Amino acid sequence: MKTAITILPILFYTIFSWGQQKSIQERLGYPKDAKLVIIHADDLGVSHSENAASISAMEKGSVSSASIMVPCPWFPEIAAYAQANPKADLGLHITLTSEWKYYKWGPVTAKEKVPGLVNQNGFLYSSVDSVYQNASAQEVETETRNQVLRAKQFGMDPTHLDAHMGTALQRLDYLKAYLKIGHEFRIPVFIPRILENALRVKLDTMVSDKDVIVDYILSASPQDFKNGFANFYTKGIKNLKPGLTYLIIHTAYDNEEMRAVTIDHPDWGAAWRQEDYNYFSGPECKKALQENNIYVITWKEIRDKIVRK
Amino acid sequence: MKTAITILPILFYTIFSWGQQKSIQERLGYPKDAKLVIIHADDLGVSHSENAASISAMEKGSVSSASIMVPCPWFPEIAAYAQANPKADLGLHITLTSEWKYYKWGPVTAKEKVPGLVNQNGFLYSSVDSVYQNASAQEVETETRNQVLRAKQFGMDPTHLDAHMGTALQRLDYLKAYLKIGHEFRIPVFIPRILENALRVKLDTMVSDKDVIVDYILSASPQDFKNGFANFYTKGIKNLKPGLTYLIIHTAYDNEEMRAVTIDHPDWGAAWRQEDYNYFSGPECKKALQENNIYVITWKEIRDKIVRK
């Protein structure tokens, strides 16, 4: 027995680390030095404005993938779109916060079952810190599973999971729960390499050959917004490195609804989202992608070629 | 003991029916033949558009009162307004349905405690009939109480209760539950005289001298919308009778958000609500009220002069 126990971890390590030895380009069948990018719109479901603009940016623009906030009021609208458009690359933006001032939502799970996720008003907490102070990994696992189940109940087959405000990513026990749900439903989960520093963990020891670790994140800061997004994104695309980059954006129309949702919060606000929409729907983005030989890929490709192979 | 039991109902009847013998005009201190109207905007909280337009119609127009849907996503926005503007006549639009196609909400109460109010997706039912088929009066009482408690938790002192889509009114056991909650919190409840026919009940036997039965309802139909609201409302104001009329309207802006909320449902849709807003914010309404010597009153007046006297 002792021998078996000693061998087991070695065997596991061999299996688990195998997949990570091949590059993502090789695993997906691209040239070795290919620059891959997923141009990803977050926050679908949060409002009608976000849904409408993101659908337009996917259908007519350069956005290749997007993820949906299941607990939000406009989830049924985007879920109906997903069901009617099974080719659209739509995953779930696992949502553990309700961050806006006057417009709120609670968890999908019965509140009694996830008390640590719920504030005194019955909503999800506004801040990631409050979630970390109150919610157990077990509660995060339960809520994440129920968000996937609800999406399936609405006829979706999510292409991936990622994490709203990074909440499910940036604490190790949450990350394990979120990865566990991905494995349970055979859905790829967004795990960026940068977490290794933040969490002081070797990601390769946590994942299997069915997982993909995203090499780089490209995402605008408030300073980039002030300096102009066109500049920032075109330069960002030009500087993409070989490997897989997750280009995270938020596309919505700067209208009354979106201004009310994001009131008192110009960062990631309505004007910000309109600028994201403008750039990623316009010709400058397409030109930059072409000129720099960027391969724009989807999570569905990862799901079907790797996770569900 | 037998004598006491016999006397008790007589005594109760005397006390209970006393209030109803005096007219509403007398009880509030108006001339005997005064034509009183509450110009009432329904559905606040349902969307930002509804909140913004209704606030404008109350502040600048002729709308004297409005009621809020507590389970809806935009409730925190209008509750914050109510708290900052305690003179605004804002009550609760007790909400037992979630009727729109792609934009949904659930009950305030934990779903496990009111299973009869919740459909398979965890939302309130779309139709009044489905509520009637599934929810007990006890569940309606629980949810109604929790809507009041949540409003108080958000710093509101509601001026009245009324019933979204009439759900809490048009079934006798629900009506009793809703009236019970009004008494519990000393909040006037909207009870229209017309229910006597629909429910085959003598309302005077159900109410106390602290209640008010509303004599008339004025409310536009789809046919009135087709013919033009200005015509309908101006004529309606001209024809108001002595007594209390509840003039029920829905004020919102005909914008993208509201069109998405009311999609596939032109009746009580975005254009309809814009027309209501236009008439009740404009000069024609003010003129009609003045020319016909109408007293525009509030629920707060009823609450403070009658219910909490």
Q: Are strands B90-94 and A213-214 parallel, antiparallel or unpaired?
A: unpaired
CB-nearest to B73 from A52, A73, A80 is: A73
pLDDT at A17 exceeding the cut of 80? no
Task: Tell if the CB–CB gap between A122 and B256 is shorter than 8 Å.
Answer: no
Residues B246-256 as b or e (16 or more Cβ within 10 Å = b): bbbbbbbbbbb
The model's confidence at residue A4, banded by pLDDT at 50, 70 and 90, is very low
* pLDDT averaged over every residue in chain A: 94
- Cα–Cα distance, A255 to A258 (Å, whole number): 5
- Cα–Cα distance, B213 to B24 (Å, whole number): 8
- Cα–Cα distance, A141 to A118 (Å, whole number): 15
CB pairs under 8 A between A and B: 81
Task: Tell if the CB–CB gap between B261 and A101 is shorter than 8 Å.
Answer: no
pLDDT of residue A1: 37
| ipTM for this prediction | 0.88
- Cα–Cα distance, B162 to B90 (Å, whole number): 11
Q: How far is CA B29 from the centre of its chain?
A: 23
pLDDT of residue A9: 44
Which residues share a beta bridge with B38? Answer: B246
pLDDT of residue B15: 45
**Does residue B97 contact residue B72 with C-beta atoms inside 8 Å?**
no
Which residues share a beta bridge with A35? Answer: A243, A294
- Cα–Cα distance, A163 to A185 (Å, whole number): 16
Which segments within chain A are labelled E, that is strand? 35-44, 65-68, 90-94, 161-163, 191-192, 213-214, 216-219, 243-249, 294-296
Supply the DSSP string of B127-192, one letter for each residue. SHHHHHHH--HHHHHHHHHHHHHHHHHTT---S-EEEGGGTTTSSHHHHHHHHHHHHHHT--B-EE
State whether residue A162 is helix, strand or coil. Answer: strand
User: pTM of this prediction?
Assistant: 0.91
pLDDT, tens digit (0-9, with 9 covering 90-100), for A154-180? 999 999 999 999 999 999 999 999 999
Which residues share a beta bridge with B94? Answer: B163
Task: Tell if the CB–CB gap between A102 and B80 is shorter than 8 Å.
Answer: yes
- Cα–Cα distance, B238 to B231 (Å, whole number): 11
pLDDT of residue B36: 98
CB-nearest to B77 from A80, A103, A108 is: A103
pLDDT of residue B6: 43
The model's confidence at residue A6, banded by pLDDT at 50, 70 and 90, is very low
pLDDT of residue B10: 44
**Does residue B251 contact residue B280 with C-beta atoms inside 8 Å?**
yes
Provide mean pLDDT across the span A175-195. Answer: 98
pLDDT of residue A266: 92
pLDDT, tens digit (0-9, with 9 covering 90-100), for B85-126? 999 999 999 999 999 999 999 999 999 999 999 999 999 999
- Cα–Cα distance, A39 to A237 (Å, whole number): 11
Q: Which amino acid is at A18?
A: W
Provide mean pLDDT across the span A72-92. Answer: 98
Q: Spell out which chain B residues touch chain A, with contact meaning CB-CB distance below 8 angstroms.
A: 47-49, 52, 73-77, 80, 101-105, 108, 110-112, 120-122, 150, 153-154, 253, 255-257, 260-261
Residue B103 distance to chain A (closest CA, Å):
5
Provide mean pLDDT across the span A70-76. Answer: 98
Q: What angle do CA A140, A141, A143 make, to 5 degrees?
A: 65
**DSSP assigned state of B61:** S
pLDDT at A55 exceeding the cut of 60? yes
- Cα–Cα distance, B40 to B33 (Å, whole number): 22
Q: A-chain residues within 8 Å CB-CB of B153?
A: 120-121
pLDDT of residue B157: 97
Q: A-chain residues within 8 Å CB-CB of B260?
A: 48, 52, 74, 77
pLDDT of residue B7: 43
Q: A-chain residues within 8 Å CB-CB of B105?
A: 73
Which residue ranges of chain B lie beneath pLDDT 70? 1-20
- Cα–Cα distance, B136 to B23 (Å, whole number): 34
**Does residue A92 contact residue A70 with C-beta atoms inside 8 Å?**
yes
- Cα–Cα distance, B309 to B131 (Å, whole number): 35
φ, ψ for residue B191, nearest 5 deg: -130, 110
Provide mean pLDDT across the span A70-83. Answer: 98
Task: Tell if the CB–CB gap between B112 and A112 is shorter than 8 Å.
Answer: yes
Q: How far is CA A17 from CA A30, A176, A182, A210, A221, in A?
A: 21, 17, 18, 10, 34
Nearest to B191 by CA among B148, B144, B172: B172
- Cα–Cα distance, A142 to A181 (Å, whole number): 9
pLDDT of residue A19: 44
Nearest to A119 by CA among A97, A90, A136, A93: A97
Rg over CA atoms, chain B: 19
First to last CA, chain B: 33
Which residues share a beta bridge with A191? Answer: A213
**DSSP assigned state of B123:** S
Helices B270-281/B283-291 angle, 10° precision:
50
pLDDT at A132 exceeding the cut of 60? yes
Provide mean pLDDT across the span A226-241. Answer: 97
pLDDT at A14 exceeding the cut of 90? no
pLDDT, tens digit (0-9, with 9 covering 90-100), for A199-222? 999 999 999 999 999 999 999 999
pLDDT at A8 exceeding the cut of 60? no
Q: What angle do CA A239, A249, A144 make, to 5 degrees?
A: 120
pLDDT of residue A141: 98
Task: Tell if the CB–CB gap between B76 and A103 is shorter than 8 Å.
Answer: yes
Q: B-chain residues within 8 Å CB-CB of A120?
A: 153
**Does residue A11 contact residue A205 with C-beta atoms inside 8 Å?**
no
Nearest to B169 by CA among B150, B196, B208, B147: B196
Nearest to A181 by CA among A100, A120, A91: A91
A 10 A CB-CB count for A76 gives 19
Q: Among B114, B257, B262, pick the best mutation site for testing chain A contact (most A Cβ within 10 A).
A: B257
